Amino acid sequence: MDTSKMYSTLLRCQLWTIAIFCLASCSSDKWEVDPNQVELGREFRVRTFYKDIRNLPESDSTAIEKLIRVYGEFWGDYSEDILKLGPFNDVSTAAELRRFLNHESTVETLAAIDTTSGSDAKVAEISQELENGFKRFHALLPSEPVPDVILMTSGFNYAIYPREEYLAIGLEWFIGHEHPILEKLPPEMFPQYRKLRMHPDLITANALRGWMLVNFQNRGYTGRMLAEDILYWGKVLWLTKRCLPELHEHLLLDWTPTELEWAKANEESIWIELQPSDVIFETNRTVYNRWLTEGPFTRAGSIPQESPDKLGIWMGWNIVEDYMEANPETTIEELFADREPSNFLRTYRP
């Protein structure tokens, strides 16, 4: 056999293999994680507290003992902060809980939850989405805690109640904007734009995003100026998207697809409003919150009323996306540790 031909054939095969490997490497996302290949090291638990509290022992003392034993710290927060029923270990608090559960409005709310955001099918869906999301989170940041998820009714006090150890979700906030029970809520606290976002499809994005916003703030949030606020939000949304890649980005912002399309079509105009130093480096929170707060539209500068709200948050996300694309060697820990706005602003290209 001709030795030179054999070596030539082997070389072509090797080069072809390398080319395929390079193409595969270039086409894959560095941050992409297959949740089926991730072990959390413990069971991922989604706990249906909103059902369990309807099946408590008749004895108040036994009920309190069970709530402390089964739900621990969460029961303390639920009784003393979320509903403000009373001390978590006081027998009288069980009686207050029963009064809350038997109140006409709570009975109606729980019935609404059972057929919408708390239906068996919806709970199974969000349980799988959140488990996959936290598996990706664990793969990307293995030293970070993964919480239990607790589904509750909060008396319309909290949509998301995040702690390091658990992530509680107020299911009544996601029963669907057309549900008649929402018409009974005070309009000054629940304006129409807020009701429109009380949709079951927003549970997963709200929950994971809300948990990360709270649990990363010690390392990535300062709150000294608008630039720092939008960049912190941008970092959290960047990471949320890596954990929930199957969710469309408009859901991560509580927007409609049309609102996202408007923002993309007007990105340069939004940047013109945002980029002046007296705007983006504004330190008066009352002034710069206009770019961040929930509302019918973004009430900042010359932004028109057909805009979606929270455009500053969306811009922060875009800025972080551009930064990570320009600095692919940056780790997630380094991303959150970098609090210098100029490092991010210099790589942004609207």
pTM of the model: 0.90
Whether residue 10 has pLDDT greater than 70:
no
CA 54 to chain centre: 28
The total of other beta-carbon atoms located within 10 Å of residue 53's CB is: 21
pLDDT tens for 69-110 read 999 999 999 999 999 999 999 999 999 999 999 999 999 999
Q: At what angle do helices 226-243 and 120-140 cross, to 10 degrees?
A: 110
Q: pLDDT value at position 336? A: 95
Domain range for 139: 46-215
Q: Inform me whether the pLDDT recorded for 253 exceeds 90.
A: yes
| Distance between CA atoms of residues 237 and 213, nearest Å | 9
Write out pLDDT tens, residues 189-244.
999 999 999 999 999 999 999 999 999 988 778 889 999 999 999 999 999 999 99
Q: Are residues 196 and 303 in the same domain?
A: no
Question: What's the rounded mean pLDDT across residues 47-63?
Answer: 97
Q: Is residue 129 part of a domain?
A: yes
Spacing of C-alpha 56 from chain mean position = 31
Identify the pLDDT of residue 19: 38
Q: How many domains are contained in the chain?
A: 2
Q: Residue 249: which of 287, 211, 284, 202 has the closest Cα?
A: 202
Task: Identify the band that residue 47 occupies on the pLDDT scale cut at 50, 70 and 90.
Answer: very high
Q: Is 86 exposed, middle or buried (0-12, 13-18, 19+ CB in 10 A)?
A: middle
Inform me whether the pLDDT recorded for 14 exceeds 50: no
User: Of 215, 239, 261, which residue constitutes the final position of a domain?
Assistant: 215
Angstrom distance (rounded) from CA 164 to CA 146: 8
Average of per-residue pLDDT across 13-24: 37
Nearest residue to 220 (alpha-carbon basis) of 346, 320, 142, 292: 320
Q: Are 92 and 209 contained in the same domain? A: yes
- Residue 6's pLDDT is 36
Answer with the one of 170, 189, 215 that is the final residue of a domain: 215
Burial of 271 (0-12, 13-18, 19+ CB in 10 A): middle
